[in-house]
Amino acid sequence: MDRIRIGGGRRLHGEIPISGAKNAALPLIAASLLSSGPLTLTNVPNLVDLGSMVELLEVLGVGVTWEKSSVLGVGGVMRLSAPGPVATLAPYDIVRKMRASFFVLGPLLARAHQARVSLPGGCAIGARPVDVHLKGLAAMGAAIELEEGYVVASCPGGLQGAEFEFPMVSVGATENLLMAASLAHGRTVLSNAALEPEIKDLGECLIAMGAKISGLGTTRIVIDGVAELGPATHPVLPDRIETGTYAIAAAIAGGEVDITGTRVDLVASLLMLLKRTGAEIIPTDNGMKIVRDGRRPRSIDARTEPFPGFPTDLQAQYMALMAFGDGLSHIQETIFENRFMHVPELARMGADISIEGDTAIVRGQARLKAAPVMATDLRASSSLILAGLGAEGNTIVNRVYHLDRGFERIEEKLSRCGADIERLRGEG
């Protein structure tokens, strides 16, 4: 298994181009099930998770071509078409690899009026049930049963439009229902919908395919179902988690980094925090410049919240920054339980972090020391790399396959800015 070595202590200078968002691309790929197509996606990042999603769509009968880009900063192009009838069994072997596979449930029900989808796996960050997805689809008339680890759902006459209020804010459930409602009979009103930008991106793609949707970007989305959807071309939204990760990298390592191909509004909550820690943020035409003089960051508390609040997917990375803070900070995780798996790994590098309930208390240190560490989930992996940029010596991050699920060419992007980082192929 590959490992990554990071020699700490180098400042970063240069440009980091941001890829298309994994979390936008995953539901967009699933949306191809809603029409005979083709759906053409541009700005597609080359990530293992997208490969898993494509594998699933192919099993379901979708034809996929994917031209991956070999140029840093240029996204790939994916064409998906499902002119014939689709298969309706999403098998455990594929779904277990990635929770986002569950996105096929809504589109399959909408198009084929039945589906048998394995309950998902994915990052081990808490229980992560799918009850809200199921409640919403049941409200639209689907009969749903659980059989041997599979969700078995059917709606013989098609899905019916419904009024559904999400009992909790869920990104994935909002996306699943948005797709399902596009082909339902009549009007669906989703309230307490999640506000994450990936939902608006999906909605805009569905509109390009012919869906009738209003209220995107608000908590109340109204969908008037149509009989069929058609071909469309859609660029994948820039990745806000990747954007934020590199902004934090610059704040830890110091230097001047131009983060391009992205938008400040996607990471406004993080940028406000970074400013308070002492980083300078300069918005640019296609992103932002992060300038930091290498002094210790001020310790500033953070709390994860649904968008537009501070994202849980940046919590681990922000904690790496706070590990170098000049005092005490509290980082509260309100979205997922058990999302502090990076804490013992950061502690191996000398970070002083204790956990009380849903809050990590971080006592900043003047130095961290390199150590062999273990990546435990996708975002935690990136936090260990960031910590390595600021630590003394050579940090080795083991089990980097998690990283490849969600960060495109991270070692190349950082080394182009002067970081001492390399991938060690093979055993580890």
- Residues taking part in catalysis: 123
The Cα 211–Cα 227 span in angstroms is 9
127-137: b (≥16 Cβ within 10 Å) or e: eeebebbbebb
Judged by CB under 6 A, the residue of 18, 53, 132, 386 near ligand UD1 is 132
Residue 409 binding ligand UD1, by CB under 6 A: no
Residue 120 binding ligand UD1, by CB under 6 A: no
Residue 119 binding ligand UD1, by CB under 6 A: no
* Residues 17 and 72 sit within 8 Å (Cβ to Cβ): yes
Please identify which residue in the block is written with the tokens 């996607």.
266
> What angle is formed at CA 48 by the lines to CA 43 and CA 50, rounded to 5 degrees?
50
**Cα atoms in the Cβ-side hemisphere of radius 13 Å centred on 373:** 34
- Report the nearest approach of ligand UD1 to the CB of residue 103 (Å): 8
Identify which range of 211-219, 247-255, 306-314, 352-360 contacts ligand UD1 by CB under 6 A: 306-314
Residue 172 binding ligand UD1, by CB under 6 A: yes
Site for ligand UD1 in 173-192 (CB under 6 A): 173
Q: Which is nearer to ligand UD1, 315 or 395 (CB)?
A: 315
Strands of the sheet with 114-118, listed across from one edge: 89-90, 114-118, 150-154, 143-147
Instruction: With CA atoms as reference, report the closest residue to 270 among 295, 252, 248.
Output: 248
Q: Which is nearer to ligand UD1, 242 or 411 (CB)?
A: 242
Residue 23 binding ligand UD1, by CB under 6 A: yes
Residue 168 binding ligand UD1, by CB under 6 A: yes
- Report the nearest approach of ligand UD1 to the CB of residue 43 (Å): 17
- Termini Cα distance of the chain: 6
Judged by CB under 6 A, the residue of 128, 276, 298, 399 near ligand UD1 is 128
Report the Cα 323 to chain-centroid distance in Å: 24
Identify which range of 34-42, 74-82, 308-316, 387-395 contacts ligand UD1 by CB under 6 A: 308-316
Which residue type is seen at 100? A
Residue 66 binding ligand UD1, by CB under 6 A: no
Strand partners, 329: 362
Identify which range of 71-79, 164-172, 211-219, 397-405 contacts ligand UD1 by CB under 6 A: 164-172
Q: Which residues bind ligand UD1 (CB under 6 A)?
A: 23, 26, 99-100, 126, 128-133, 168, 170-173, 198, 311-313, 335-336
